[in-house]
Chains A and B, each alone.
Chain A
Amino acid sequence: MNKLNFLQPDKNNLNTYLYTGVILVALSIFIVFLNSFFNKDIISFLPGSISFFLPLILGFIGLHLIRIDYSGLKFLDKVNKNINTNNFNAFLSLLIVFVIIKSLPPLLSWFILDANIAGDSKDVCTGSGACWTYIKIWFNRFMYGMYPNAEQWRINLSFIALAFLGTIGFFATEKFKKYLTLYYVVVYPVIAFFFIFFFISGGPIFFDFSYGIIAAVISIIIGFFIPSKFKMYYFIIVPITLYILLKYVFFYEELIELGKLEALEWVETGAWGGLSLTFIVSFFCLIFCFPIGLFLSLGRRSDFPIIKYFSIGMIEFWRGVPLITVLFMSSVMFPMFLPEDMFIDKLVRVIIAISLFEAAYVAEVIRGGLQALPRGQYDAAKSLGMGYWKMHILVILPQALKLVIPGIANTFLALVKDTPLIFVVGLLEIVGMLNLAKTNPEWLGFAMEGYVFASVLFFIICYAMSKYSYNLEQKYKTER
Chain B
Amino acid sequence: MNIKKILPQLLTLLVVILIFGFFSYNAQVNMENRGITFGYGFLSQESSFDVQFSLIEFDGSHSYFRAYLVGLLNTILVSVIGIIFATIIGVVVGIARLSNNYLINRTAGVYVEFFRNIPLLLQIFFWYFAALRALPLPQDTEPMFGVFFLTIKGFFVPAFVWNNLDIFIYSIIAAIISIIFVRIYARKKQENDGIQTPVLSISIGLLLILPILSFLIGGVDASVEIPVIKQLSQSGFTYEGGIKLPPELISLALALSLYTATFIAECVRAGVQGVSKGQKEAAASIGLTPNQVLKLVIMPQALRIIIPPTTNQYLNLTKNSSLAAAIAYPDLVLVFAGTALMQTGRAIEIVSITMLTYLSLSISISIFMNWYNKKIAIKEK
Contact = CB atoms under 8 A, between A and B. Distances in A.
A333 B347 contact: yes
B113 A324 contact: no
Given A325-B333, A455-B122, A340 B33 contact: yes
A393 interface: no
A323 B120 CA distance: 13
B122 A325 contact: no
A325 B354 contact: yes
A222 interface: no
A451 B362 contact: no
| Secondary structure class of chain A's binding surface, majority of residues | helix
A322 B322 CA distance: 7
A423 B327 CA distance: 12
B341 A332 contact: yes
Interface of B: 5, 8-10, 12-13, 16, 22-24, 26-27, 29-31, 33, 99-104, 107, 113-114, 117-123, 125-126, 129-131, 133, 319-320, 322-323, 325-326, 333, 337, 341, 347-348, 351-352, 354-355, 358-359, 361-363, 366
Contacts of B101: 82-83, 85, 89, 92-93
A306 B9 CA distance: 6
B319 A333 contact: no
B143 to A, nearest CB: 20
Given A303-B5, A324-B333, 19 more contacts: A92-B101, A93-B103, A305-B9, A307-B12, A316-B359, A320-B363, A321-B355, A325-B322, A328-B354, A339-B29, A340-B29, A417-B120, A419-B119, A420-B122, A448-B130, A454-B122, A455-B122, A458-B119, A462-B118
Interface string A358-370: 0000000000000
Contacts of B10: 306
A381 interface: no
Contact of B107 (A96, A305, A320, A462): A96
A447 B363 CA distance: 39
The 5 closest A-B pairs by CB, nearest first: A462-B117, A322-B319, A82-B102, A320-B359, A337-B23
A328 B354 CA distance: 10
Contact of A421 (B103, B129, B323): B323
| Secondary structure class of chain B's binding surface, majority of residues | helix
B323 to A, nearest CB: 6
A94 to B, nearest CB: 9
A96 B103 contact: yes
A328 B351 contact: yes
A391 B8 CA distance: 18
Contact of B351 (A93, A329, A447, A452): A329
Interface string A5-27: 00000000000000000000000
A437 to B, nearest CB: 12
Contact of A336 (B107, B319, B348, B366): B348
Nearest to B352: A333
B69 to A, nearest CB: 18
Given A92-B103, A325-B351, A431 B363 contact: no
Contacts of B13: 306
A336 B30 contact: yes
Contacts of A438: 129
B341 A458 contact: no
Contact of B333 (A322, A418, A448): A322
A310 interface: yes
A321 B353 CA distance: 11
B12 A455 contact: no
A304 B354 contact: no
A447 B333 contact: no
A317 interface: yes
